Structure 1
Amino acid sequence: MSGEEGAVATETPLAALGETMDLMTALQLVLKKSLAHGGLARGLHEGAKVIEKHAAQLCVLAEDCDQPDYVKLVKGLCADHNVNLLTVPSAKTLGEWAGLCKIDSEGKARKVVGCSCVVVKDFGEETEGLHVVQQHIKSH
């Protein structure tokens, strides 16, 4: 019972702020919800399969990816299959958001594995973060 109350208390301050969240915070929230609902493909191989099946709704690529062929392939697949593409500055950050890390007892991420590409096939549930990301995609 007390574990459920703690989970509710951590989500309430974010909603109570009333401020519009920035794109990176919104994207982090969308990726976490998608991961929780099993709708996240992480890495080039999984991501390419989802895009090829026309099941992808959003693709996120790390800007610091040092393999130009990798970047060219992901951008080409997204363009061919009309998948929206967003970029984030760091592969480590994207890996943490995609759940490729261990969470210690203090709630901090440890042993984060970098991830250059993440594809969302199911957003999970409607959140404010999802609306922010969708508005950004429509405007760009």
Structure 2
Amino acid sequence: MSDTEYVEEVIVDEEIDVTVAGGELDVEDCLKTVFQNALAVDGLARGLREASKALSSGLGELCVLCDACTEPEYIKLVEALCNQEDVKHVDIVRVSDAKKLGEWAGLCVLDREGNARKVVGCSCVVITNWGADSTERETLLSLFSE
């Protein structure tokens, strides 16, 4: 990967709000819904090993990467796999909290009230199958088409 290549990213910390017919959606809400839909059809690759397999085989649709990762090689690897020329380009969304990303990706135990317990942090999640169509999916895709 050269220093002049452009990586298209959306950083969630900036609180981008998108107005839709029902009200406003932010990127975090869109990611939660899209992850739930993808998880229902086994469409998530969670962690470096699964994510790298999905990205190198061309199955990746969207990559969500955590900024709190302490290994710069990890981030470089994921960015390089997302920008491969022989495989389709995969857009990257960055989030700040690994625990929150792990909770969204289903790496937790839910108690009786539906609250997340024993959340495992996750540095990278790749969506391989979107599942059901939703306005949240279209909202995320429209962020990258601009």
1:44 aligns with 2:28: no
Which residue of 2 is the match for residue 28 of structure 1? 32
Which residue of 1 is the match for residue 23 of structure 2? 19
Which residue of 2 is the match for residue 111 of structure 1? 118
CA drift of 1:76 comes to: 0.9
Which residue of 2 is the match for residue 123 of structure 1? 130
1:85 aligns with 2:89: no
Compute the TM-score of the two structures, normalised by the length of structure 1: 0.85
Compute the TM-score of the two structures, normalised by the length of structure 2: 0.81
Name the Cα RMSD after superposition. 1.1
CA drift of 1:20 comes to: 2.4
Identity over aligned pairs, percent: 43
Which residue of 1 is the match for residue 73 of structure 2? 69
* Higher helix proportion: 1
Query: Between Structure 1 and Structure 2, how many residues are aligned?
Result: 123
CA drift of 1:136 comes to: 1.1
* Higher strand proportion: 2
Bigger radius of gyration, 1 or 2?
1
